[in-house]
Amino acid sequence: MIPVSVETVLNPAEALTVDMLEKAAGPLKVVLADDVESRVRRGHGFVSECLTDGRPVYGATTGFGPLVTFGGRDSQEAQCDNALQHLTAGQGPELPPEVVRATMLMRTWSLARGLSGISPTALEMLGAVLETDFTPVVPSLGSVGASGDLVPLAYVAQSLRGVGEAWLGGERLPAATALARIGLRPLVFTGRDALSMVNGTSVTSAAGGLTVAILRRSFESAIVLSALLTDVLGAGSDFLGPSLLRAFGHPETAEVGERLRDHLAGSVASGDRPLQEPYSVRCVPQLLGAARSALDWAGGVIERDLNGVSDNPLFFPDENLTAHGGNFFGQPTAFASDMLSIIATQMGNLAERQLDLLVDPVRSSGLPPMLSPDPGVTHAVQGVQLVTTAVVASMRRACVPASIQSIPTNLHNQDVVPFGTQAALTALEQARCLRVLHGSLAVGLRQAAYLRQDRPKARRCAVLLDALADVVPPIVTDRPLDADVRAAADVLDRFVTRQDPKTADN
């Protein structure tokens, strides 16, 4: 097997976090605690008892969806095949590998609660593939975010039994070949294994969770970039006054103001700025404070989803209960993901306007147009700004809520649906676009400081500028800047991850 890089003990008493989802991008060892194994075995045994007793169990003794009024296939293995084959109908671009891997981790966590009736063998198989970089090839279109992410999860389940394709070591292979290379035999699903694999909103919640993780870093990036902009421009800090921001009535705004004051400690106003800065400077606390409040809400919703069970039916051996219901209805994360798209887009609007402020000689206190050292001969960040305009327009267009786009389907069995999967995947793309905008602004700020021939006065701002200067050379003559933008975005991620918001950078 491929060497394990991370070990996590999976225990239902502990919370699954968005940070753990990100770690699943690489090989991850999942260790099932003893109480988890016993619960899974007991849940699986209870399902077997129900089937032996002749109780009706959706998907085990019946057809699926609106065909629930008809009987299923005769054997458990054939019934599992019945579940997966008709759902293997996805279309569209493939899901990013990190989303698929995070989905598998989340599905493992949900099934380990012991309420879905999955067999220990099937759960162990999920853990075994997570220990390698085995990643099923999964199309992105097919889920309506209700009855679980049935179609994409079917591709995950199919790959475990050697059907379809998977990535391994950077190579796209038949799933059966990839399993053989990591020393695993294709899984034979029995009982309720197949439906347990697909009947949950794990793709939706995983994509939403990854989005939260990215946006939490981007929020921090927005703060440090706004501070650096203020310093480079030589702007005053009256707009950050504690009394002023407390009067606004929103504690998150006051907190952002405090953070900005900390980052600007030592900064000196140039004296040649207007009495009131443009909103892209002056209203940063109000904008980012609102973003923080909304991000906290959306993140809390999604993290609850990460630790819930979205299967149907659920099995409660202690109550002798098979509960049929609608926990697979992914409305909470659908709403939250649409909010994440809005948060990302408004922070993107801010970054794009801040770059525009820098490149405009009328408003930048003497910086040359397009931050060019020789305007006309060198165009500097002109192309970068064009791209930021295109990115912002794309983000705005994508902000149409998915969570209200209900279309009845499945013979009206699914007569109202939340489209949470599309909402979450869109939000994830929005978060990635925001990183591009922040990387672009960072390149602009690095160039502006170079043209000023003066380090920022605030120590923290100077530390950030030095980190950017290490990977982004000054633009003396025109060169491709696409890689510089991406490198700057990576610098920001590292910078905000290493620092504690309340302490100085080391």
pLDDT averaged per 10 residues in sequence order, the chain, 506 residues: 51 80 92 88 93 86 84 86 92 97 95 93 94 96 90 97 97 98 95 91 97 98 98 95 97 98 93 90 98 98 94 93 92 97 98 98 94 97 98 97 90 87 97 98 98 93 97 98 98 88 41
If one counts every other C-beta atom within 10 angstroms of the C-beta of residue 407, the result is 10
Q: What is the pLDDT of residue 204?
A: 97
Q: Where are the alpha helices (DSSP H) in 88-190?
A: 97-111, 120-130, 150-160, 175-181
Q: How high is the pLDDT of residue 3?
A: 41
Other beta carbons within 10 angstroms of residue 236's beta carbon come to: 20
CATH 1.20.200.10 fits domain 211-311+322-498 = yes
Active site residue 279: no
Cα distances (Å, whole numbers) of residue 325 to 146, 154, 310, 313, 482? 12, 21, 10, 6, 49
pLDDT attached to residue 11: 65
Cis peptide before 313 (omega within 30 of 0): yes
Which two structure tokens, joined as six digits, stand for 388?
A: 């930021």
Question: Which DSSP category does 2 fall into?
Answer: P
pLDDT of 424 = 97
What are the residue boundaries of the structural domains of the chain, listed by start? 6-200, 211-311+322-498
Residues β-bridged to residue 314:
323
Q: Hey, what are 400's tokens?
A: 């149409």
pLDDT of residue 9: 61
Nearest of 316, 384, 368 to residue 114 by alpha carbon: 316
Which DSSP category does 119 fall into? -
Q: The whole model's pTM is what?
A: 0.94
Q: In what order do the strands lie in the sheet with 171-174?
A: 135-136, 165-168, 171-174
C-alpha 60, offset from chain centre: 33
Q: How much is the pLDDT for 489?
A: 98
Q: Is 160 exposed, middle or buried (0-12, 13-18, 19+ CB in 10 A)?
A: buried
Q: One of 58, 155, 279, 450 is an active-site residue; which one? A: 58
Q: Which residues contact 105 (CB under 8 A, 6 or more apart)?
A: 16, 20, 21, 24, 28, 30, 130, 206
pLDDT digits (tens, 9 = 90+) for 274-324: 888 999 999 999 999 999 999 999 999 999 999 999 999 999 999 999 999
CATH architecture of 6-200: Orthogonal Bundle (1.10)
> Which pLDDT value is given to residue 411?
86
| Averaged confidence pLDDT in the chain | 93
